[in-house]
Amino acid sequence: MSFQVFGIPVSRGVAIGRAVLVASSRVDVAHYFVPTAEVDSEYARLLQARDAVTRELQDLKADLPADAPHELDALLDVHLLLLNDEALVDAARQWIAERHYNAEWALSAQLEVLARQFDEMEDDYLRERKADLEQVVERVLSALGHGQNKGGAGAAVVVARDFAGEDPLLLVAADIAPADMIQFKRSVFQGFITDIGGKTSHTAIVARSMDIPAVVGTREASRLIRQDDWVIIDGDAGTVIVNPSPIVLEEYRFRQRQSELERARLARLRHTPAITLDGQRIELHANIELPGDAVAALDAGATGVGLFRSEFLFMNREGELPSEDEQFEAYRAAVEAMRGMPVTIRTVDVGADKPLDRMSVNELRHEHVLNPSMGLRAIRWSLAEPSMFRQQLRAIYRASAFGHVKLLVPMVAHLSEIKQVQEAIRRVKQQLDDAGQPYGLVELGVMVEVPAAALMLPMLLRHVDFISIGTNDLIQYTLAIDRADEAVAHLYDPWHPAVLQLLSSSIAQARAAGKGVSVCGEMAGDALFTDLLLGMGLNCFSMHPSQIPSVKQRVLRADTQRLAAAIPRIMESEEPGRVAVELLAAQRLH
Ligand code: PEP
Ligand code: MG
């Protein structure tokens, strides 16, 4: 039966493929395809793991003390039964044989199928056996070694796809943490659907950086969609169509082709400088998460990196934080890749919806913090971990010997924070001088993403070289809307008069002080806001590489003088969004 699920569109385009349901707790299980020649040995690997767990459970049963409760013995029998039921491992064989999934993926896919059947059972006792099944699968997964990533760069690496005609796969999950999402870069999945999340949650941001269609905040997609269902993701409308009819499918295939043609057309702008009709040069920079993303930035024609979210280097580390040398290599790689163009490295912004996944290092588990968005996040965390912070600063300064590096500090709300950063920089430079390590000139900037920073900007500007406006958080903190909470997503409004005030005054004040200013939040990459920001006097935008062409197209058709003339009326309006669309469109040359 065909049906639709509605959510929040976060990444444009149309994706058509088969649903792969993944429980949030199992997102970090390896997902890769095995070559045809290895299908049999992969199944043998699964059988071996099953047999190992069978022995383990039999040993446990044999070793039960005489006075152990009878229930324990019965429970082990249930686990043995589930483990050896053909509905589990035999059925997982199908996933390996037909879809070429690796053993861990096949087993988790089969678990999802069975878990759903358990959920639908009338009998309470039987329904509760789902937890036992999950424990059994967990044991087999550990016996498999959780699928050590053969590719080495994350759980979702594609190792081989040497069999013809496989269908595209779309990932469906209740939730995906940003740390897990980053693992899906270069993965087998061509689209994402989650139950949870808002337009600027970090999971959505990473999905957007992958430039594949995604819909979040659907609330119940993972409950309604079944393993292997055919699904269409309309990333522009935020709609998910499950088991579409042939006519609907054809319509979306047509739209998919249209959008590919449009992208190819825009890609031709790559080498065109972003100069407005009245001759203003506009810098279009890239937001990146990992040094390898610099390739996409260059391909898209970025003239620098405006935001390197360094915290992604700190995720998925199993308790170890990256050493100074490892960080230095990552920063240097990005700096060298950008060939002299500026690379703005933001110091770690962990906390809120980006917990370090193994935060036990600093006992900062997300769940234990009352209100993580307002807690020990970003620069607050760095200043609470001074040696870790200096290590990061040393790595950034060392990388500055290889190109043009700018240092950006997130979530600043107090002047004292900047002063502490400057003190840390002084110490780091001294240490590097003592060690004879070279470094270059590094400009210092702050992110304006807390209203306090925007309201006291003239003061902050005296101490820094540039600012970068993080509209994602600026909107969150100005409107008191959790950016990751789909329940209040309808109130997350970039057109809100208070947001426009803070944006326009920040841009104007930075310019008046002769300091650099850019916007690196999601507004910068949304062509809907390009005219508005140009009219406010912005001349540096930083966004996902895939967004550069459409923003550039807007820039090329804009006259900043005429756009600026429309801004006061927009700011005075009670409906700025509507008025802006009308007024700015009238000022633009189509
Ligand atoms: C922002 O807040 O707008 C920003 C760019 O930072 P992040 O999205 O990483 O919080
Ligand atoms: Mg931010």
Mutational pocket test of ligand 1: of 182, 201, 473, the residue with most ligand atoms within 8 Å of the beta carbon: 473
Mutational pocket test of ligand 1: of 520, 526, 543, the residue with most ligand atoms within 8 Å of the beta carbon: 520
Mean pLDDT in the chain?
90
- Cα gap 412→420, rounded to integer Å: 11
Q: What is the mean pLDDT of residues 124-145?
A: 88
pLDDT at 358 exceeding the cut of 60:
no
Q: Is 333 exposed, middle or buried (0-12, 13-18, 19+ CB in 10 A)?
A: middle
Span 285-324, pLDDT tens digits = 999 999 999 999 999 999 999 999 999 999 877 778 899 9
For residue 344, give the ligand nearest its CA: 1
Is 202 considered catalytic here? yes
pLDDT at 256 exceeding the cut of 90:
yes
For residue 520, give the ligand nearest its CA: 1
pLDDT at 165 exceeding the cut of 50:
no
Q: Whose CA is nearest to atom 8 of ligand 1?
A: 472
Q: Whose CA is nearest to atom 3 of ligand 1?
A: 470
Ligand 1: atom nearest CA of 352 is 10
Q: How far is the CA of 260 from the centre of ligand 2 (A)?
A: 31
- Cα gap 223→529, rounded to integer Å: 35
Helix (H, G, I), strand (E, B) or coil at 351: strand
Instruction: Provide the pLDDT for residue 119.
Output: 84
At residue 124 the predicted structure's pLDDT band, cuts being 50, 70 and 90, is confident
Span 374-405, pLDDT tens digits = 988 999 999 999 999 999 999 999 999 999 99
Neighbouring-strand partners of residue 532:
none
- Cα gap 348→363, rounded to integer Å: 17
Ligand 1 pocket, residue 471 CB under 6 Å = yes
Q: How many CB atoms lie within 10 A of CB 469?
A: 27
- Cα gap 431→41, rounded to integer Å: 54
pLDDT at 153 exceeding the cut of 60:
no
- Cα gap 99→91, rounded to integer Å: 12
Q: How many CB atoms lie within 10 A of CB 34?
A: 26
Span 191-245, pLDDT tens digits = 999 999 888 888 889 888 888 999 999 999 999 999 999 999 999 999 999 999 9
Give the lowest-confidence range in 14-28, 443-457, 477-491: 14-28
At residue 372 the predicted structure's pLDDT band, cuts being 50, 70 and 90, is confident
Instruction: Provide the pLDDT for residue 368.
Output: 56
Ligand 1 pocket, residue 520 CB under 6 Å = yes
Ligand 1 pocket, residue 473 CB under 6 Å = yes
Span 493-504, pLDDT tens digits = 999 999 999 999
Ligand 1 pocket, residue 185 CB under 6 Å = no
pLDDT at 81 exceeding the cut of 80:
yes
- Cα gap 158→160, rounded to integer Å: 6
Q: What is the mean pLDDT of residues 323-328?
A: 97
Helix axis angle for 89-99 and 39-62, nearest 10°, is: 160
Mutational pocket test of ligand 1: of 200, 206, 476, the residue with most ligand atoms within 8 Å of the beta carbon: 200
Ligand 1 pocket, residue 372 CB under 6 Å = no
Mutational pocket test of ligand 1: of 447, 499, 506, the residue with most ligand atoms within 8 Å of the beta carbon: 447
Work out the percent of the chain whose per-residue pLDDT is above 70.
93
CB 126 within 8 A of CB 68: no
Ligand 2 ion: Cβ-proximal residues, 5 Å cutoff: 449, 470, 473
Ligand 1 pocket, residue 373 CB under 6 Å = no
pLDDT at 574 exceeding the cut of 60:
yes
For residue 200, give the ligand nearest its CA: 1
Ligand 1 pocket, residue 349 CB under 6 Å = yes
CB 563 within 8 A of CB 305: no
Ligand 1 pocket, residue 351 CB under 6 Å = no
Q: How far is the CA of 467 from the centre of ligand 1 (A)?
A: 13
- Cα gap 588→574, rounded to integer Å: 23
Span 177-206, pLDDT tens digits = 888 888 787 778 899 999 998 888 888 898
For residue 470, give the ligand nearest its CA: 1
Q: How far is the CA of 298 from the centre of ligand 2 (A)?
A: 24
Higher pLDDT, 25 or 22: 22
Q: Whose CA is nearest to atom 9 of ligand 1?
A: 309
Is 520 considered catalytic here? yes
Ligand 1 pocket, residue 309 CB under 6 Å = yes
Q: How far is the CA of 472 from the centre of ligand 1 (A)?
A: 5
From the list 31, 79, 285, 520, the catalytic residue is 520
Ligand 1 pocket, residue 470 CB under 6 Å = yes
Give the lowest-confidence range in 329-333, 348-352, 393-397, 508-512: 348-352
For residue 353, give the ligand nearest its CA: 1
CB 529 within 8 A of CB 503: no
From the list 202, 285, 404, 544, the catalytic residue is 202
pLDDT at 278 exceeding the cut of 70:
yes
pLDDT at 483 exceeding the cut of 50:
yes
Q: How far is the CA of 397 from the centre of ligand 2 (A)?
A: 22
pLDDT at 20 exceeding the cut of 60:
yes
Instruction: Provide the pLDDT for residue 587.
Output: 72
At residue 275 the predicted structure's pLDDT band, cuts being 50, 70 and 90, is very high
CB 411 within 8 A of CB 447: yes
Work out the percent of the chain whose per-residue pLDDT is above 90.
69
Q: How far is the CA of 51 from the centre of ligand 1 (A)?
A: 48
Q: Whose CA is nearest to atom 4 of ligand 1?
A: 470
